[in-house]
């Protein structure tokens, strides 16, 4: 599984995720820093990435378009540093790996992680 880290998360996540055996790249290394969310989603879909973000807009776009892919991992806490959250994120990646490969929105906070299968339905 390949992870595309959004601009609102630190590039430090790349080394944390790669060290844990996940393939990760930060958007700043492959795209325009001011690219709209839709462009990032399209790139992720076209290149087989899961979007890793702190931005709620990606989930809204997935819901509005009834998209089945790309999967998204959404962080819902204030301190999004790898030092604070790496354990939570790595645990969720392992727990929801199958869901992410099939199309899902994974939400992570410090108390729990949960998965919603794509496309998102009301």
Q: Is the pLDDT of residue 87 over 60?
A: yes
Question: Per-residue pLDDT averaged across 72-82, rounded?
Answer: 94
Integer CA distances (angstroms), 43 to 4, 19, 46, 80, 101, in order: 9, 24, 5, 23, 16
- pTM for this prediction: 0.93
Q: Is residue 34 part of a domain?
A: yes
Looking at residue 21, its pLDDT comes to: 96
Q: Is residue 122 part of a domain?
A: no
Q: Is residue 95 part of a domain?
A: yes
Greater confidence, 90 or 65? 90
Q: Is the pLDDT of residue 121 over 80?
A: no
pLDDT > 90 in the chain, percent: 75
Q: Is residue 35 part of a domain?
A: yes
Q: Which domain holds residue 22?
A: 2-117
Looking at residue 122, its pLDDT comes to: 53
Looking at residue 15, its pLDDT comes to: 97
Looking at residue 119, its pLDDT comes to: 87
Question: Per-residue pLDDT averaged across 8-22, rounded?
Answer: 96
Q: Is residue 44 part of a domain?
A: yes
Looking at residue 120, its pLDDT comes to: 73
Counting the structural domains of the chain, the total is: 1
Q: Is the pLDDT of residue 42 over 90?
A: yes
């Amino acid at each position: 599984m390949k992870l595309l880290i959004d601009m609102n998360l630190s590039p430090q996540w790349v080394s944390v995720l790669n060290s844990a055996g996940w393939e990760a790249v930060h958007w700043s290394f492959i795209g325009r820093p001011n690219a709209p969310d839709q462009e990032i989603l399209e790139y992720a879909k076209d290149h087989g990435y899961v979007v890793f973000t702190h931005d709620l807009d990606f989930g809204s776009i997935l819901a509005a378009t009834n998209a089945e892919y790309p999967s998204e991992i959404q962080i819902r806490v204030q301190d999004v540093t790898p030092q604070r959250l790496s354990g939570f994120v790595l645990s969720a990646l392992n727990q929801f790996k199958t869901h992410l490969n099939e199309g899902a929105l994974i939400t992570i906070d410090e108390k729990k992680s949960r998965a919603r299968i794509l496309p998102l339905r009301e």
